Amino acid sequence: MKKISLLLILTVPFFALKAQNKTIVPIVAQASDYISLIENNYNQQVVHLEFDVIKSEKTIYRQLFAGTMYGIIIYGDDQIKELKLKIEHIEGEKVISDVVSGDGKGIVMLYFKPKVTDYYSFTITSILNNPDDYGYYGCIIFR
């Protein structure tokens, strides 16, 4: 009887903790599907791939080349209700793109052709289902 009690004491907290842990695996798996579609079906090249945790906002930087058409996909896990993507030229203050997912699926996709070869900022803003929580996002930039 003591063995059963001890086993219950040890396993119940483990399963409770396991239920609270989140994993990045679904975001990586989804990226695999997107990359396959981008490279195999559309014959495009992935030039930036990123996965990270997001609570509210994250900015990444990438050099883009003038005259090249880029596609950008930002997507989130089931903790993310909405995503917003703002692209700005580092040297200039004008906003190039400001897109909101708004579909309840937490995904943004757009195409962008820079006029100047330079660094650009990509600011990702998330609205979470639970504001006290966090979610995972993936970012794929391709050309």
Tens of pLDDT along 106-131? 788 889 899 889 999 999 999 898 99
CB-neighbour burial class of residue 134 (10 A; exposed 0-12, middle 13-18, buried 19+) = middle
Strands (E), 1-142: 46-54, 57-64, 70-76, 80-89, 95-100, 107-112, 118-128, 135-142
> d(Cα 103, Cα 120) in Å, to the nearest integer?
26
Query: What is residue 13's predicted lDDT score, i.e. its pLDDT?
Result: 46
Query: What is residue 41's predicted lDDT score, i.e. its pLDDT?
Result: 95
Tens of pLDDT along 21-76? 689 999 999 999 999 999 999 999 999 999 999 999 999 999 999 999 999 999 99
Task: Domains for the chain: give ranges and CATH numbers.
Answer: 24-142 (2.60.120.380)
What CA–CA distances, in Å, run from 96 to 19, 37, 54, 110? 41, 26, 23, 12
CB 88 within 8 Å of CB 108? no
Tens of pLDDT along 75-104? 999 899 889 898 988 876 666 776 776 656
